[in-house]
Amino acid sequence: MAEFTAHIANLGKYNAGVLADTTLSFPATTEQVQAALGEIGIDRLFSSEIVILDYNIGIKGVARALGEYTHIDELNYLASRLEGLDPEDMGKFIAAVEHGEYAGSAEQLINLTYNLYRYELYPQTGRYPGDSSEAVEPGLCRH
C-alpha cells in the first residue's frame, strides 16, 4: 500500500502558540495511536483537541478529501481498507478518486472501497471506436 500518514497536533496548545505535534502512520494499532496522542498531550481518542495539520498519502486526491478534523478512527479504517485491496481494485480506487467519484470525505472514500465491484477499468486505446480524431484516456466505467 502507498504511504498514509497524518501530521497531528494538539489544537488547544496549537491555538496557544505551542506546537505539540507528531506524525502517525496508518493503519495503526491502538497502542500506536495512544502513544501518538500521548506525545501531543492528549489522553483520549475522542477529543476535540486533535487537529490534523497535513497528510502524506501516496494516492493522488485522497488527502484533498480529508479535513483537518477527520477522526483518527476513520483514517485508520480507510487505511486498513486500502491495505486490503488487490492491485486491480486499487487501480479502480485510484481512477475513481481521480475522477471525483465518492471522493468528498473519509466516509465516502471508505464507502468507495466497498463498491469497487461496480467499476471497470478501461486501458488507453488511443481512439474512440469509429472516430479517428478523438484520443481516449484510460478510463473508469461505473455499472
Q: What is the pLDDT of residues 40-88, one digit of tens each?
A: 999 877 778 999 999 999 999 999 999 999 999 999 999 999 999 999 9
What interhelical angle do 106-114 and 72-83 show, nearest 10? 30
Per-residue pLDDT for 114 more than 90? Answer: yes
**Mean pLDDT lowest among 7-11, 86-90, 114-118, 123-127:** 123-127
Binned at pLDDT 50, 70 and 90, residue 33 comes out as: very high
Give me the pLDDT at residue 124, please: 66
Beta strands in the chain (DSSP E): 4-10, 21-25, 50-57, 119-122, 139-142
Summarize the confidence of residues 8-30 as an average pLDDT: 95
**Predicted structure pTM score:** 0.83
CA dist list (Å): 80 to 7, 27, 105: 18, 6, 16
With residues binned 3-state (H G I as helix, E B as strand, rest as coil), the percentages for the chain, rounded to 5, are 40, 20, 40
